Chain A
Amino acid sequence: AQKVTQAQTEISVVEKEDVTLDCVYETRDTTYYLFWYKQPPSGELVFLIRRNSFDEQNEISGRYSWNFQKSTSSFNFTITASQVVDSAVYFCALSEARGAGKSTFGDGTTLTVKP
């Protein structure tokens, strides 16, 4: 069975600080996908990134960066120079290619960025 753990329930930072959200996953499959979603107070799920299990290259997109390490089953997400608009709940999710493609979500990390 697949499992996603986001150990940080809540994080609070001051604007312009860097913050890293941790994600650890468990899966028996060799082919899987990892995702990060942002859920602002308005409720919609905003897709941030998808990474497949064969691509361990780290990715940077503006102030966002992701560190995927298969050796430690981690897929951490860093926001550089955080802004108040980054305040949201962030979910890490995993889907296995062997299954029907459904995603399993972590419990989410609530990020609060204070001005």
Chain B
Amino acid sequence: AAGVIQSPRHLIKEKRETATLKCYPIPRHDTVYWYQQGPGQDPQFLISFYEKMQSDKGSIPDRFSAQQFSDYHSELNMSSLELGDSALYFCASGQGKRSGELFFGEGSRLTVL
């Protein structure tokens, strides 16, 4: 069965650079969630989208922005990268606004040097 696809899987950037992560949800899933997991931490919710509209917002820095496109894929844009942004970024998709059942991708590992 198709799963959530995240790209790139690994990304290395310098401080103050910009990075974009992409997420392709499971077919027919209309909700996307982004999570950030720092080293030794649990995943922290950043932002979510339902039917291309932002549905919830968590601890997402102002330097980050995200959107969901007409084909339901989502992109997380991170600007003015800081060392502390080094983390695993997970995308999860679900069906319906409040399904509560999330399917996670394998994550994108961002390293900021």
Contacts and interface: CB of A to CB of B under 8 A. Distances in A.
Interface in A73-115: 91, 95-108
A98 B50 CA distance: 14
B109 A100 contact: no
B105 to A, nearest CB: 8
Contacts of B98: 97-101
Contacts of A98: 98
How many chain A residues sit at the interface, stated as a range, is 20 to 34
A64 interface: no
Interface residues of B, number: 28
B100 interface: yes
Nearest to B94: A101
Interface string B71-113: 0000000000000000010101010111111111011010000
A44 interface: yes
A103 B90 CA distance: 12
Contacts of B107: 43-45
A57 to B, nearest CB: 18
B43 A96 contact: no
Interface of B: 31, 33, 41-45, 48, 50, 55-56, 58, 88, 90, 92, 94, 96-104, 106-107, 109
18 contacts: A35-B102, A43-B106, A44-B107, A45-B107, A52-B100, A91-B43, A95-B102, A98-B98, A99-B98, A100-B98, A101-B56, A101-B97, A101-B100, A102-B102, A105-B43, A105-B44, A107-B41, A108-B42
